[in-house]
Structure 1
Amino acid sequence: MPSPAQEINGVRVSRETAERLSIFVSLFERWSAKINLIAPSTKASLWQRHVADSAQIFQLSPEPQTWVDLGSGGGFPGIITAIFLTEMGDGHVHLVESNNKKAAFLRSAIAETGARATVHAHRIESAVLDLPVPNAISARALADLATLLELSLPLFQRSPRCRGFFHKGRDYPSELDKAIGRFHFDLLEHRSVIESDSVILEISNVSRQPVRG
């Protein structure tokens, strides 16, 4: 939980944001007793492993902008980003989650916390064609990097200045090698402050590699 000084990852947050995060965690714990939102082995470290880890995304790009969160699942990082945006009074997160039970949880989380977000209960492949043009894209524990770029390419193409923020674990170099074989992109690697062997890959200027004859 946030410390008495109201800090997450060494960054100060307001009392209101800390309270919204606490409300979300309480709701998450109730729902996760009924439906599978995260791996059971990580529930004991929910704040650090999931909330603080997800908060890194907003902390890397703390502007009131339009986000698309792919495969939102239990709300990490999309709901966490949307809670931070609530204090700013601007910006919005479009949560894409095709599982109806998880989508219902996300709607409940928005209602309980006032998070600036909307749920799109559709498959990613169809949702990305109709979503508003984003400034940023996020995804966590969804797919390998090449697949993420394939899924999000229509969004990058509609928004040339869009940036993607993708959590990756220790095997990310091999994912990068595979993605580089299929796409051109600019890359910044941000070392995770939660897991020493994990990174957040900030990706922009994405285009498909030309097919060689």
Structure 2
Amino acid sequence: MSDRAREQVLKAYDVSRETTQALDAYVALLHRWQTVKNLVGPSTLSEVWSRHVADALQLLTLAPEASTWIDLGSGAGIPGLILAIAGKERGIRVTLVESNARKCAFLTEAARLTGAPATIRNGRIEAVIGDAVGTEIVCARALAALDQLLAWSAPLLNSGTIGLFPKGRDVQAELTQASARWTFTYDLVPSRTDADARIVRVTALTETSPR
């Protein structure tokens, strides 16, 4: 099933031979490190292509002209490192923000192995986000509720950066919660990997009820 999913994903996103080799190297490294580092949910490792790689690749299609990205709470590099691998041929550069030093060690090794144009920042989001003003895209996957993502991303979103935040079936509840604090312009993009999921694309943000 994994091989079939791999082929389907590579075909769906028209992945080049060079990028395929880099993605294969990343997936192999993820499997090796998973046994000692628990980088992703164990139950999802067998679905790495259909669940993780495809989820990341679809974000690239939403911002084809963007060359600078920042991924918050990058963890095992999903989506940030995959974006860097797949976007290398387009000249994309991705900053990966991760507070866990062990996960940063994995990201550093994965970026070295694949040649991905990624900068790893080992620190808390609040401490490094200000350095990213001017970045074109901010993204985060499976990290926090939308309200918190907007709070972390506010220095970027209120200065022209676009936010891409994949969300599951509770997206409407998260939008309602976030609207109590923020006024933001957004649209919901259907996920290509999950019929119940949406990607919240935020294009403007102001805080209306400060905490």
SS of the aligned residue for 1:102 comes to helix
- Distance, in Å, in 1 between the alignment partners of 2:7 and 2:34 is 24
- Residue correspondence of structure 1 range 19-34 to structure 2 within 5 A: 19-34=21-36
Following superposition, the deviation at residue 18 of structure 1 comes to 1.1
Following superposition, the deviation at residue 181 of structure 1 comes to 1.1
Following superposition, the deviation at residue 19 of structure 1 comes to 1.1
Residue ranges of structure 2 left out of the alignment (5+ in a row): none
Give CA-to-partner distance per residue, 1:15-40, whole Å, 9 cap, x none: 11111111100011111111021111
TM-score normalised to the size of structure 2?
0.93
- Distance, in Å, in 2 between the alignment partners of 1:31 and 1:62 is 31
- Distance, in Å, in 2 between the alignment partners of 1:60 and 1:38 is 25
Instruction: Go from structure 1 to structure 2 and tell me whether the alpha carbon gap of 1:64 and 1:163 turns closer, same or farther (over 3 Å shift).
Output: closer
Contact 1:64 1:92 in 2 (8 A): no
- Distance, in Å, in 2 between the alignment partners of 1:193 and 1:13 is 16
Contact 2:9 2:54 in 1 (8 A): no
Match of 1:3 in 2: 7
Instruction: Go from structure 1 to structure 2 and tell me whether the alpha carbon gap of 1:132 and 1:149 turns closer, same or farther (over 3 Å shift).
Output: closer
- Distance, in Å, in 2 between the alignment partners of 1:33 and 1:5 is 25
Structure 1 or 2: more helix by fraction: 2
- Distance, in Å, in 2 between the alignment partners of 1:202 and 1:131 is 18
Following superposition, the deviation at residue 3 of structure 1 comes to 2.1
Contact 2:66 2:137 in 1 (8 A): no
Match of 2:155 in 1: 154
Match of 1:176 in 2: 175
Total equivalences in the alignment: 207
Match of 1:118 in 2: 119
Following superposition, the deviation at residue 4 of structure 1 comes to 8.2
Contact 1:6 1:15 in 2 (8 A): no
Match of 2:70 in 1: 68
- Residue correspondence of structure 1 range 53-92 to structure 2 within 5 A: 53-88=55-90, 90-92=91-93
Q: Percent identity?
A: 41
Residue ranges of structure 1 left out of the alignment (5+ in a row): none
Following superposition, the deviation at residue 156 of structure 1 comes to 1.9
- Distance, in Å, in 1 between the alignment partners of 2:136 and 2:21 is 27
Is it true that 1:93 corresponds to 2:67 in the alignment? no
Match of 1:186 in 2: 185
Following superposition, the deviation at residue 193 of structure 1 comes to 1.2
Match of 1:141 in 2: 142
